Chain A
Amino acid sequence: MSRVVFPARVLPYLLLSPQIAITAVFFYWPASQALWQSVLREDPFGLKTTFVGLANFRSVLADPNYLQSARVTVVFSVATALLAMAAALWLASAAERVVRGRGLYRTLLIWPYAVAPAVAGMLWLFMFNPAMGTFAYMLRRAGYNWDPLLDPGQAMTMVVVAAAWKQISYNFLFFVAAMQSIPRSLIEAAAIDGAGSTKRFWTIVLPLIAPTTFFLLVVNTVYAFFDTFGIIHAVTGGGPARATETLVYKVYNDGFVHLSLGSSAAQSVILMAIVILLTAIQFRFVERRVHYG
C-alpha cells in the first residue's frame, strides 16, 4: 500500500469531517451523556439532580432483575448469532450448488435485510400470534400447545427466530462472497483427492472462509446485543414476565418507561463495557485460529 501525502494540511481533516461529525453526534455525545448520567440521580420530574457516585452501578448489579436480564441476553445473543450464521452458511452453500436462477435466489435471499426491524417483528408476530397467527393456528391444529404470550421458552424462540431471520441476509451475502473467492480449482483438487462434498465443506470451504465467519461472529454478536430492540419491542415487549427482556430492552424500559434515568444510564455504560470486552476477546482468542489466505 503506497502512502498518499496530501499537499494541504486541512484537506485530510476536511475529508474525514463528515464521518467524524456523525460519529460525534450519534456516538460520542450520547455516550458521554450516558457516562455523566450514570453517576447522577434525578427525580422523576427532572427538578432535582444529585451526584451519587457509583451508587447507580451498585444498585443495578445487585438487582436480581438485572442479573436475570443478563442471563436472557446471553441465551438470546448466542442463539441468535448461531442461528443467523448457521442458516446463512447453509443457504450460501446451497446457493453455490444452484446452476440455474442463481442470481434470482441470491436477490430474494437479500430482501429481508431491507425490512425494518419493527416491521420484521410485526411480520413474525402476525404469523405466530396465538390469537390471529396462521402458523400459530397450524401449530395448534398439529397438537402443539403454542402460546408465546404465556410460555417464556416459546416467546424466546420466537424473538430469536425473528431476530436471526433479519440478519440471515447480511450473513448470506458475506458467505456467498467468501465462497466465491475460493478458487474453483481448489474444490476440484479436493474432489480428485477423494473428498466428498460434505468432507470438502468441512475441510476446505469452512477453513477458507474462516476470516469471514470471524468477522460475522463479531458483527452478529453486536447485532444481537444492540440492534434487536425493535424486534423484541414489536414481538414480545420483553415479556412474558421479562423472559425476553434483554439488557438493551431493559435500558429502554427503565429509562423511558420507568424514567429511572440514572439506573438506565448505568446499565447502558455496563452494556457498552460488555460489548467492548466481548469484541476484544473475540479478536484476541478467536482470530488467532483464523487463516487469512
Chain B
Amino acid sequence: MDAIILLTLTGLGLAALYFLVASGLSLVFGLADVLNFAHGLFLGVGAYATWWAAGNLPGAGHDGLGFVVAVAFGVAAGALMAVLVELVLIRPLYSRTIEQVLVTVGLSLAGVALLQATWGADARRFPRPEWTRQVTSILGAQVPNGGLLLIIAAVLVLAAILAFLQWTRYGLIIRAGVENREMVTALGIDVRKAFTLVFAIGGAAAALAGALGSVYFGTVSPQQGGSLLIFAFIVVVIGGMGSVVGSAYAAVAVGLLQQFVNYYGTSGLGDICVVALLAAVLLLRPQGIAGKVATA
C-alpha cells in the first residue's frame, strides 16, 4: 500500500514535469504549428539561470525566499529566451513550417553545446532548499518534498493557463487561433502577437520545469532538457496538439504508467509501455485525447 502511494505520488511528480514542458509545446504547436525542438533548451536555460542566480544574484540564495527569487529569475530567463527565439528566429519564417522546425533543431544542437561549453558537460550539484530534501509522510508513504513541490507547481500552472485562456482577450485569441489561425487574421487580429505570447508562456513553464526538476534530481546538466523533451512530445501527441487539458491528462497517464511499470517490471519497460500507449492512441484516435486532429 505504501509502495502504491509512493509510486503514485512520484509518478505524479514525473507527470508534473512532463506537463510543464508539454503544455507550452502543445500551445506553441497548436497555435503556430511550430514543433519546437528548442523547447528543451528553454528548460536548460531555466535550470542554469536558477543555479547561477542562487549563487550570484543579489537577493537570491539557496534557501527560503532567496531561492524563490532565484527560481523567478530562472523562469524570467526562460521566458525571455523563448521570446527572443520567436522574434528573431521563428517569425521571419512565418508559416514555413519545415524551416521553422529546422531552425529549432539547429538551435537545440547549438544551444546545448553552448551550455556545455560554458558550464561543462558533466552534471553539477544543484542548490536545494533544506525543505525539498526532506520527505513528507502521506498515508504511511515517505514522499520526497521535491516531488510534491513539482506537483503543486504544475497544478498552479495548469490553473493559471486555463484561467488565462478562459478569461482574457489574448486567451480567447489563442483558443480561436488553435482552431483556425487564418480566420483569426481574417477578423482583423494580428495573430503573431499571440505567437510571441505562447512562446513566452511555454518558455516560462519549461524554465520552471528546469528549475524544479533540478531541485528534484539534485543536479543540473546540459542534456537534461533533451531526454525530457521526447517524453513531452509523446505527451503532446497523446493529449492532442493544442490542448492544455489534454496535455495534463496525458502527462498523468504517461507519468504513472512509466513509474509503475518501471517499478514492478524491468527498469526501462515503463518507457517502452509509454511508446506502446502512443501507438495505441494513434491507431484508435489519431487526434489524441482532445484537440486538433494529429493528421491535419
A binds B: no
B interface list, Cβ under 8 A from A: none
Residues in A lying within 8 Å of B, measured CB to CB: none
